[in-house]
Amino acid sequence: MVNKKPTPKRITHTPKSILVPPSGARETSEPFPVVGIGASAGGLESFTQLLAHLHADTGLAFVLVQHLDPKHPSILGELLARETPLPVHEIKNGMPIKPNQVYVIPPNHDLSIRHGTLQLTPRSTLRGLHTPIDSFFRSLAEECGNLAIGVVLSGTGTDGTLGLRAIKAEGGFTFAQDTQSAKYDGMPHSAIAAGVVDFILPPEKIAQELTRLHNHPYVQLARTVEESPLVGEDDLRKIFLLLRAATGVEFAYYKPTTIKRRIARRMLLLRIDKLAGYARYLKENPDEVNALYQDLLINVTSFLRDPDLFETLKKKVFPRLFKDRRGDTPIRFWVPACSTGEEAYSLAMCLFEYLGNNLDHTPIQIFATDVNETAIEKARAGIYPESIANDVTSVRLRRFFVKTSGGYQISKNIRDVCVFARQDLTKDPPFSRIDLISCRNLLIYLVPTMQKKIIPTFHYALNPDGVLVLGNSETIGAHADLFALSDKKQKIYTKKSNGRHVNFDFALSARTVEKARHAPLELASDFDASKEADHLLLARYAPASVLVNDALEVLQFRGHTGDYLEPASGAANFNLLKMAREGLGPELRSALTEARKTNSPVRRERLRVKSRRINLEVIPITPSANAPKHHFLVLFEDTAQARVPASPPKINLTKSAAEREIEHLRQELTTTNEYLQAIIAQRETTNEELRSALEEIQSSNEELQSTNEEMETAKEELQSTNEELTTVNEEMQNRNLELGQLNNDLVNLLNSVQIPIIILGSDLHIRRFTPVTEKLLNVIPTDVGRPLSDLRPNVIVPDLENLVRQVMDSLETHELEMADQQGHWYSMRIRPYRTVENKIDGVLIAWLDVTELKTNAFQIQAAREYAEAIVATVREPLLVLDGELRVQTANRAFYQTFATSAAETEDKPIYALDDGAWNQPQLRELLEQILPSNTQFENFQLEAEFPGVGLRRFLLSARRVHQTADHTPLILLAMQEQA
């Protein structure tokens, strides 16, 4: 039978938050799948392998939820960004989610998705396990529905199992890393064992399958449920027939939209495109029939789902049910479609809390039924993952659960009141005399015709004033004459007293008929004629007897024992002493006690049992390896005397006979009195011992319970801390690999640079140097760590330590030229050593070999001085102009001829000189022709008069003679005086 679902209304449409994003949140309104990926210890390696096999245009959004240390900054996003072409973001609160992006949870936060955005909340400070993966997966299932995809990778514990179950219930897809490739297989194993995983693959195969799923029409078209991609009613009927033949369940009564979507989901997993092909596959593969059957049954529920409902039951419903109830009348609940039992156990816990001290005096029966036998088996075991701590308070965990390896188990006192059984509500008979029925979120999956049949069934099963609890989206429909609405918000109904007769047609299931058909054959096969003959002889000739165990419980009746034993009134009880007829009990008890002590047969004769005299014999059976406890065979023999009449006639007994009778009665009374005294003394001693032992046990139990709670809490905290530390360790390992690579790069770089470089710490101790530094500064590799003052370098640097300290204080680069003992020149540059955090942690000193530059400079200087000397000796006036026709220099003849000085001439435009002849157009044209000329020695001449020197005439000759390093030409202008 279809089971429970957290919020059934979510399956009626494609999620709005995906189809219609908030303002500015999406570039497109088309739906797309969101992949939630959860991991714990070993997750970094699995994340890397999965993301490395994804290409940039998957059409999916990926949200990574990792168990992180809340007090340690994470570099998970930075590490993953190097392994995938997809952009990686650390999540900020309210960040819109987009396809082809990777989002990473930050430390010390819980994560959910709502209205197309990622919502961060501070991590809970409560003690216990932190399960951020389950929390996010549940919100993902609620938000995205059939477009939700859940992936559980390496990790310890059970986080993610309940979340995958919620995703699968919404029609999404679930993955788990195979245990062989997982570094830690706790989380994948828990999900696989829970039966909520569609694909079990290594990370790289998961990446491939995710791409395939996105390209499939089931996901790509993002259809609503009403637009199911399946067509072909004949093929659907074939599938229903196969399911009914294999399981006995008629799925034609269930809503077609849900059934079609589940079938389409199985087709996608099997890569089958046509419904007819899937029908053939089902016929050829019986295992797929069972897989489809399990997929159609929505086994999703949780403890104390909708807490307000359970509080209403405790405050309003339970008091009404227990009002005027007799103490020995059992309270009976029924939970149809119970799934894996959480709903039934939740009712039991609330009932236990309500009864309090009256619990021991109230019989409780909770019947929980479901059509899914697999779910029923899990419910009977009552073992659930550790992540139920999110739904169950720590107080209830301590009171109603027992910690087991990898999870929690419902305590025995809760399991004892819950009876789980397989039942198909659509055709099997209901229970009767029920006080409360909790059937939440079942009717929404059934067609209206079946709903109309089930509501009267509930009415029939309930006691007068019984209570019916339905889901938030369910109603009683047209059956207002059967139930009255008691609480509209919580959908609680009360049975009406209605005289209408309800007809039921419950046929025997195929399994029951088949079992009844084969029952006689099975009995006949065990028939043995010789054993039957032995039974007849024993019944005719052997005395009546019973075989009892050490607790005096009857194991076997032999012969006709009705004259000696009879069942006591009340509940069925096979205790021998309680079954003994009047007058037999004391002697029987005495004989059994004596036989137990002496371990030898004990015989009592002529005992009166109502109207007859009998002999009693108790024979102990010695314990053996197969039967280590005592057993007793009790024989009953009639004496040869005639039966004494029930009402004997009054006759005169002789005195001797009367005395004998009185003496016999006196002996019986004395024996009985002694026996009773012994029993009383024995019981008092036993009671004292038991009372003392009980007090010690209670004290020890309280101490052990307290210790166990502390240890469990500490274990959970240590486990969570260990997972977080494992994650930090993985990040550090990756960081170490990165640092190792950087160190190798640095070493190779320094070895290849032929420049003497030395790095000093803030204490002026040597930290590192290049190989060529060894010769210049006379250092060897073992000098690392020594102070700078210990060095005796070949190059003389006066007051080097002070220069270094000045650089560290001023944070400015200092440069100085010097020569070594061999005459090589170096330019020493001292720069402050800055860390990534912009802190000064020493200095870096580099010696650049400038010998060649220095030599060239000397040669240039000498050549210049030589040229200037030549110019100075020329008798004619000379000018040197730059590209802007500014005077660079002039010779002595020029200054004497024009009666001027260097200060009045140099660095001034030639047109601005005092004599106006320099500004004449012909001279300007001459110089402008020379500037762009590429001919180095081409001459240009011009004859001009200069009024400032008495109209003396000069022949001006100009040539382009030089070009500087910045590509500026130089013009040599010579003046020769004309007669």
Q: At what angle do helices 655-752 and 43-52 cross, to 10 degrees?
A: 60
Asked whether the beta carbons of 776 and 796 are under 8 A apart, the reply is no
Instruction: Give the residues across from 427 on adjacent strands.
Output: none
What token pair was written down for 532? Answer: 């039957």
Q: At what angle do helices 256-269 and 286-296 cross, to 10 degrees?
A: 130
The upper half-sphere exposure of residue 211, i.e. CA atoms within 13 Å in the direction of its Cβ, equals: 13
Of 40, 74, 302, 720, the catalytic one is 40
Distance CA 302, CA 6 (A): 8
Asked whether the beta carbons of 217 and 264 are under 8 A apart, the reply is no
SS3 at position 635: strand
Closest among 193, 393, 191, 196 to 291, alpha carbons compared: 196
Contacts of 666 (CB under 8 A, 6+ apart): none
Asked whether the beta carbons of 47 and 65 are under 8 A apart, the reply is no
Secondary-structure breakdown of the chain: helix, strand, coil percentages, each rounded to the nearest 5: 45, 20, 35
Q: Is 159 among the residues known to form the active site?
A: yes
Q: Is 40 among the residues known to form the active site?
A: yes
Asked whether the beta carbons of 293 and 398 are under 8 A apart, the reply is no
Contacts of 769 (CB under 8 A, 6+ apart): 756, 757, 758, 759, 777, 779, 784
Distance CA 864, CA 674 (A): 145
Distance CA 754, CA 773 (A): 9
SS3 at position 795: strand
Q: Please report the beta strands in 81-236, taking only residues with DSSP state E, as ranges in sequence order.
A: 88-90, 95-96, 101-104, 109-114, 117-122, 148-152, 173-177, 199-201
SS3 at position 556: strand
Q: How far is CA 650 from the centre of its chain?
A: 90
Instruction: Give the residues across from 117 on adjacent strands.
Output: 96, 114
Closest among 125, 99, 98 to 110, alpha carbons compared: 125
Stretch (H or E) spanning 634:
strand 631-638
Q: How far is CA 477 from the centre of its chain?
A: 40
What token pair was written down for 832? Answer: 């402050």
Q: Which residue has the tokens 């607790």?
A: 551
The upper half-sphere exposure of residue 738, i.e. CA atoms within 13 Å in the direction of its Cβ, equals: 11
Contacts of 258 (CB under 8 A, 6+ apart): 2, 11, 225, 445
SS3 at position 908: coil
Q: Is 185 among the residues known to form the active site?
A: no
Distance CA 155, CA 723 (A): 8
Closest among 951, 940, 939 to 978, alpha carbons compared: 951
Asked whether the beta carbons of 248 and 173 are under 8 A apart, the reply is no
Closest among 226, 474, 161, 241 to 337, alpha carbons compared: 474
Could you give the C-alpha distances from 179 to 153, 183, 191, 386, 949, in angstroms and in order? 9, 8, 11, 19, 106
Of 17, 46, 53, 67, the catalytic one is 67
First to last CA, the chain: 130
Instruction: State the burial class of residue 712 (Cβ atoms within 10 Å of its Cβ: 0-12, 13-18, 19+).
Output: middle
Contacts of 359 (CB under 8 A, 6+ apart): 352
Of 69, 110, 159, 235, the catalytic one is 159
- Kindly state the greatest CA–CA separation across the chain: 202
Asked whether the beta carbons of 343 and 301 are under 8 A apart, the reply is yes
Q: Which residues are catalytic?
A: 40, 67, 159
